[in-house]
Structure 1
Amino acid sequence: MLVALRVLNRMTTTNTRNYWLLFALAAASFAFTLSNVQYTGEEAVYPLMSYEMWYHGHILTPVMYGQDYWRPPLDNWLITVLSMLIGWSHMLVAARLIAALATVGSGLLVGWFAGRIWKEKGLVAFAALVYITLGDVLFYDGWLAYSDPLFAFFCLAAMLLGWLAVVERRVAFFAIAVLALSCAFLTKALTAYVFYGVTVFVVAYQTRGWRFLFSWPSWVIHLMALVVPILWYAMASAGGTMAHGMFDDIIDKLQGQGVLDYLHQFFVFPLQTLAQLLPVGGVVIYAVLRRYPRSRMKDPQLRTALWIAGVNYLPYWLSPQSGIRYLMPIYGIVALMLAAWIIDTEETRRLAVKWMAAAIILKYVFALWAFPLYTERFRPHIGTIARDILMQTRGAPLYVTNAAWVGISVTADIDLAIRPHPPLVMPPSNLTNGFVISYPGEVPQGYTVASRYHGVWLLCRGTICE
């Protein structure tokens, strides 16, 4: 560790080569989080669905426990292809690798855009480094097997290319932006259109680019973007379920149980956001308090980025059910702002690089030791629970109703363990004999508890319980 500290200390000098070396070290740290810990949170959702889709030959409609799922399947397709290449027993690795590659790609996008918009080579590597060392990106949501990193990559690509299209008056960029926008929708949610729409309207307002934005080539391209979800819902067998599910998800995020929920979100969410933007976000606050020179404060691109990030942030700030990872599509815009804010002042830039280097060191400690130790000591042992359930059931009919993170994770392990038998599904309403992986505390009439685990109960019904 001392050797690593000395090496990184030499690399904190502010030049482009060292920025790229630090970026590469940060990107490489994701390799150590691919398989060293079990499923974390609801990571198992997409790998489990991908396996079910592959097993049953579903292409357009994701399925979970044999039921249609309301998310589009682009992430599932990628997980399936990669899992077929490296083996289904490594499907968690496949899902995390896709997330990590999307995160690295987002960092490169941020750097490329910074160089394009400000015409400064040094800012390319620095902006990319700022993005990949944001706390939430480097330590948690940047590598977990959720769809958010891939969704963020496509959203960011659409936003940045739409921005450039308006600034440079290039229709081709609109076409690529709309392609990325469609991929974002097929990855996760309709909110991709909001992120993109806010961006192009803010840029058009700031640059007086209304005529170009509403030119007939732009109309044609953007109408094609709106056609994609309509065609998708029409083609997919569960298109109606997906449409209702995606709209309902947005509405649910806006609703709280009472005034206290909204007040809590209003005051706590900004603090949580700031914590996820460390360490560079903290350096910017330090620079503001010390009143360091801010030569780019009147930069029109910086003001545009501030408006894009602020308007897109507002709905999540005011929604009691929103989470930090839903902000990932605007992390790239924020990284641009942070990088542009501090790069012109030598003292601030050096301080930021030192803190980013320290964050990278901490990430390796986290990946190689802290997180595995925490998981081992404080998390339910998913593999142990799955093996114990299989030993108890011994090939008897087994079903699942638990859709919480432990239940999904255990089910994903069992699905792979019982191959080539079909994946677990929901129990039939007329089940008379079999086992069910259920929520703790749920014992329907006619069932008895066979075993209790942390996060799941194993229920049984019929003569098989004897």
Structure 2
Amino acid sequence: MTTTNTRNYWLLFALAAASFVFTFHNVQYTGEEAVYPLMSYEMWYHGHLLTPVMYGQDYWRPPLDNWLITMVSMWIGWSHMLVAARLIAALATVGSGLLVGWFAGRIWKERRLAAFAALVYITLGDVLFYDGWLAYSDPLFAFFCLAAMLLGWLAVMERRVGFFAIAVLALSCAFLTKALTVYVFYGVAVLVVTYRTRGWRFLFSWPSWGIHLLALVVPVLWYAMAPAGGTMAHGMFDDIIGKLQGQGLLDYLHQFFVFPAQTFGQLLPVGGVVLYALLRRYPISRMNDPQVRTALWIAGVNYLPYWLSPQSGIRYLMPLYGIVALVLAGWVVDAEKTRRLAVKWMMAAILLKYFFALWAFPAYTDRFRPHISAIARDVLMQTHGAPLYVSNAAWVGIGVTADIDLAIRPHPPLVTPPSNLANGFVISYPGAVPPGYTVVSRYQGVWLLCRGTVCGQKDRSHE
């Protein structure tokens, strides 16, 4: 029976993973998905291997995700760069699920629990339905963060320095993917495990010191050697500090009360099953398991900065989903009544995901969101090859620009307009029109402006 359950859990995991395929091509850019594909194309076009570029300007994020998008796009074609970016995100998500399963199997020595933990992870609401496949850097960042935390955990628990070395490699990859915050995730995890296992002597041994010194050297070397290292460093720290700042007391209160509810929503369905089981007094397993408690501490301490930061978003929690999945799996796996209920809801979530991927999300996008490709085609039709620039860095503007960049190949990608622009079109934000500019067209989320002689080429008064 145990073998059958294990096989069924992996089968459900595979079905959930396969659902990502149907989200690769049938939905246009969603949110700020176009940022990384657009930057990757600009980097490739201009030959900037070490410095991400957006609208011709240096961007402050490290470029590992851009490198991967570029490699896949060169293989399948730049016209499919969104597919490339989503493929990388989905593979990272599946990889995170496999990491969770591998780690659970190693610490608990149970194949059934390993498969169940992986299934819990990949069916978490935010992972399965949204952020697990969108073309952001977060899934890849989460994969490397999770790898670093789990390997650091094993290093301390098993007193094996080799795991520290691999953890530091994952740590460096996470930094090169997105942000310095990986060092916080990792540091909290290692310190919690060290405290709970009384492993201070091992953590502060000379081999450990040497390996972790290398981890700190990587960002220093990167910022010192990258062509735009100073810009990247300032941008990184400004972004982290900005996330901690709100406009007033209401921002902090809103975050304090709303963010936990949002977080709980992303942990459905199994998170909801656990809450239901507690309310109905259904059995919950392994409440006192030391590994479950360790995972709870790691997740809880790492959660606090995001809970208290008014500008933080749900997707920033992705590195913690794998840790939470270990907790949920541990609580449910040995409680038969609760486990059966959880499996039913996970199966329902997978079926719902296929409905969502094949019909609901495309239909919603088509009806309620701006049509990115149509806007891009209309802009090109109206500008007739005249100088065209972009100043709109909101999601619609970025998506339109990404489509235009591919459409005008082999001409250079669009850049921001010069301050002294005398003649040309600009893809701008809706709203106030800068002095000297004329509105050509108003679209949902973007306006097309003109300045100079191009404005008089034909009547462009439609709105």
Specify if TM > 0.5: yes
**2:341 counterpart residue number:** 351
- Tell me the amino acid that sits aligned with residue 44 of structure 1: A
Structure 1: distance between partners of 2:67 and 2:443: 33
Q: Secondary structure at the match of 1:155?
A: helix
Structure 1: distance between partners of 2:330 and 2:2: 18
Match of 1:434 among 424, 434, 452: 424
- Tell me the amino acid that sits aligned with residue 136 of structure 1: D
Cα offsets for 1:74-128 (capped at 9, x unmatched): 0000000000000000000000000000000000000000000111111111000
Matched ranges for 1:74-89 at <5 A: 74-89=64-79
Structure 2: distance between partners of 1:15 and 1:325: 31
Q: CA deviation at 1:293?
A: 3.2
Structure 2: distance between partners of 1:291 and 1:456: 53
Match of 2:435 among 433, 438, 445: 445
Structure 2: distance between partners of 1:172 and 1:12: 33
Cα offsets for 1:349-392 (capped at 9, x unmatched): 11100000000000000000000000000000000000000000
Q: CA deviation at 1:442?
A: 3.3
Q: CA deviation at 1:37?
A: 0.6
Q: Give aligned-pair identity as a percent.
A: 88
- Tell me the amino acid that sits aligned with residue 150 of structure 2: L
Conservation of the 8 A alpha-carbon contact between 1:12 and 1:354 = no
Matched ranges for 1:16-35 at <5 A: 16-35=6-25
Structure 2: distance between partners of 1:348 and 1:168: 32
**2:267 counterpart residue number:** 277
Q: Secondary structure at the match of 1:409?
A: helix
Structure 1: distance between partners of 2:354 and 2:2: 17
Structure 2: distance between partners of 1:234 and 1:264: 39
Structure 2: distance between partners of 1:242 and 1:77: 17
- Tell me the amino acid that sits aligned with residue 456 of structure 1: V
Structure 2 gap ranges (5+): 457-463
Cα offsets for 1:289-326 (capped at 9, x unmatched): 22233341111111100000000000000111000000
TM-score by structure 1 length?
0.97
TM-score by structure 2 length?
0.97
**1:151 counterpart residue number:** 141
Q: Secondary structure at the match of 2:175?
A: helix
**1:142 counterpart residue number:** 132
Structure 1: distance between partners of 2:4 and 2:310: 41
**2:319 counterpart residue number:** 329
Conservation of the 8 A alpha-carbon contact between 2:285 and 2:332 = no
**1:64 counterpart residue number:** 54
Q: CA deviation at 1:13?
A: 11
Number of residue pairs matched by the alignment: 456
Q: CA deviation at 1:235?
A: 1.0
Moved more, 171-180 or 14-23: 14-23
Q: Secondary structure at the match of 1:449?
A: strand
Match of 1:168 among 155, 158, 163: 158
- Tell me the amino acid that sits aligned with residue 52 of structure 2: P
**2:201 counterpart residue number:** 211
Q: Secondary structure at the match of 1:336?
A: helix
- Tell me the amino acid that sits aligned with residue 420 of structure 1: P
After superposing on structure 2, the runs of 4+ consecutive aligned residues of structure 1 that deviate more than 2 Å are 11-14, 290-295
Q: CA RMSD in A?
A: 1.2
**2:455 counterpart residue number:** 465
Q: Secondary structure at the match of 1:444?
A: coil
Q: Secondary structure at the match of 2:247?
A: coil
Conservation of the 8 A alpha-carbon contact between 1:14 and 1:353 = no
Structure 2: distance between partners of 1:344 and 1:14: 15
Conservation of the 8 A alpha-carbon contact between 1:14 and 1:349 = no
Structure 1: distance between partners of 2:286 and 2:348: 27
- Tell me the amino acid that sits aligned with residue 434 of structure 1: G
Structure 2: distance between partners of 1:305 and 1:14: 28
Q: Does 1:339 align with 2:365?
A: no
Conservation of the 8 A alpha-carbon contact between 2:3 and 2:112 = no
Matched ranges for 1:374-453 at <5 A: 374-453=364-443
Structure 2: distance between partners of 1:289 and 1:453: 50
- Tell me the amino acid that sits aligned with residue 152 of structure 1: A
Q: Secondary structure at the match of 1:41?
A: coil
